[in-house]
Amino acid sequence: PLVLGIESSCDETAVALVRADRTILAQRIASQNEAHERFGGVVPELAARAHADRLAPMLAEVLDEAGVSLADIDAIAGTAGPGLIGGVMVGLVTAKALAMAAAKPLIAVNHLEGHALSPRLANAALHFPYLLLLVSGGHCQLLCVEGVGRYRRLATTIDDAVGEAFDKSAKLLGLGFPGGPALERAARAGTPRFALPRPLVGSDEPHFSFAGLKSAVLRARAAMAAPTAHDIADLAASFQQAACDCLVDRTARALAQVPEVTALVVAGGVAANQSIRGALADLAAAHGLPFVAPPMWLCTDNGAMIAWAGVERFLAGDIDDLNAPARPRWPLDPAAEAVRGAGV
């Protein structure tokens, strides 16, 4: 089967054509960084308009490059949430229109399912069940991925997502937007000499917390009257080390609960971070498990992960109705308890 995927839930407009044999026939990813940079964060209304402007030409380019027509495609997959609702609606309505026009099945994909299954697009040897650390701009969760559509949440954040902590810390260190990659670059030149907290490390409870770490970065920054570039790099390195320690500690705790898993897997935008990848690889090795991380471009938002989730769902016979709703919130594991109302 051949599936067209459309992603528009945040500030990446992306389209891809992916075949069940894992070939990516063509893809486009357009980031909107310039549009949001001067606001220091993603502006939902600007994002929705940019998706609407870019989607049609990108679709034409992808079909043209792959040399296929809509008639050759077996299903149309579009992100239906969670995310910024204006952008989600633009992408989902486009997917529905194509599905209707071409009389092909629609697959309304959960963006998090796209991240969760993306490692299987890059790695044919990755089998269920696996322990997934899903770390992105809006989420920080540990999931036991038992199969397509079967995600058991073991932990989530009780306050900020880890990507959000990277972004906010980068902003208050004056490192620019988008913050995650900027902070990683700064940290590379620094030494982690600041003592920052590691919330919940060693705790019996399963969850994550990053708000205290971010506040500690703010206090450490405020304590310096005229920080040099060196000081900022050291503070960035200290933050990254602390965040990394939190992720490793919580993941180690979860590993003990799921002896059945065949691999430790990381996905989502923060999985592009080299220090975090390295630390998780060490953790997996210590547990005698393979470590799987998608290539960096597949970690941050893209169309191929949505098309691939579409492939997996199509093969499982799981397609949607044309009136599938766009959802601002959509937990991957609906059975998981809400944690202080945050981080579903």
Query: Is 230 marked within a binding site?
Result: no
Does position 11 interact with Fe ion (CB under 5 A)? The reply is no
Query: Is 167 marked within a binding site?
Result: yes
Does position 270 interact with ligand ATP (CB under 6 A)? The reply is yes
SS3 19: strand
Query: Measured from the CB atom, is 105 or 138 closer to ligand ATP?
Result: 138
Query: Is 109 marked within a binding site?
Result: no
- Selected from 8, 136, 238, 251, the binder of Fe ion by CB under 5 A is 136
Round to whole Å and give the CA distance between 178 and 103: 39
Does position 273 interact with ligand ATP (CB under 6 A)? The reply is yes
Which of Fe ion, ligand ATP, Mg ion, none does 79 bind, CB closer than 5 to 8 A by kind? none
CB 210 within 8 A of CB 342: no
Query: Is 134 marked within a binding site?
Result: yes
CB 175 within 8 A of CB 181: no
Round to whole Å and give the CA distance between 299 and 136: 9
Query: Is 180 marked within a binding site?
Result: yes
Does position 178 interact with ligand ATP (CB under 6 A)? The reply is yes
Residues with Cβ < 8 Å from 243, sequence gap 6 or more?
162, 165, 166, 210, 213, 276
Least distance from Mg ion to the Cβ atom of residue 27, Å? 16
Least distance from ligand ATP to the Cβ atom of residue 329, Å? 11
Amino acid type, 23: T
Number of chain positions touching Fe ion (CB under 5 A)? 2
- Selected from 301, 308, 332, 343, the binder of Fe ion by CB under 5 A is 301
Query: Is 31 marked within a binding site?
Result: no
CA 33 to chain CA mean position, Å? 17
Tokens for 330, please give them. 């959509």
Does position 209 interact with Fe ion (CB under 5 A)? The reply is no
Query: Is 341 marked within a binding site?
Result: no
Angle at 207 between CA 297 and CA 221, to 5 degrees: 70
Does position 110 interact with Fe ion (CB under 5 A)? The reply is no
Least distance from Fe ion to the Cβ atom of residue 138, Å? 7
- Beta pairing, strands 2-7 & 75-81: parallel
Binding mask 136-155 for ligand ATP (x = CB under 6 A): xxxx----------------
DSSP calls for 74-120: SEEEEEEESS-HHHHHHHHHHHHHHHHHHT--EEEEEHHHHHHHHHH
Q: Rule CB under 6 A: which of 206-245 touch ligand ATP?
A: none
Does position 240 interact with Fe ion (CB under 5 A)? The reply is no
Which letter, b or e, does each residue of 167-190 get, where b requires 16 or more Cβ atoms within 10 Å of its Cβ?
bbbbbebebbbbbbbbbbebbeeb
Query: Is 139 marked within a binding site?
Result: no
Q: Rule CB under 6 A: which of 72-111 touch ligand ATP?
A: 83, 111
Cα distance from N-terminal residue to C-terminal residue, the chain: 32
Q: Which residues bind Fe ion (CB under 5 A)?
A: 136, 301
Q: Which residues bind ligand ATP (CB under 6 A)?
A: 9-10, 83, 111, 115, 136-139, 163, 166-167, 178-181, 184, 268-270, 272-273, 300-301
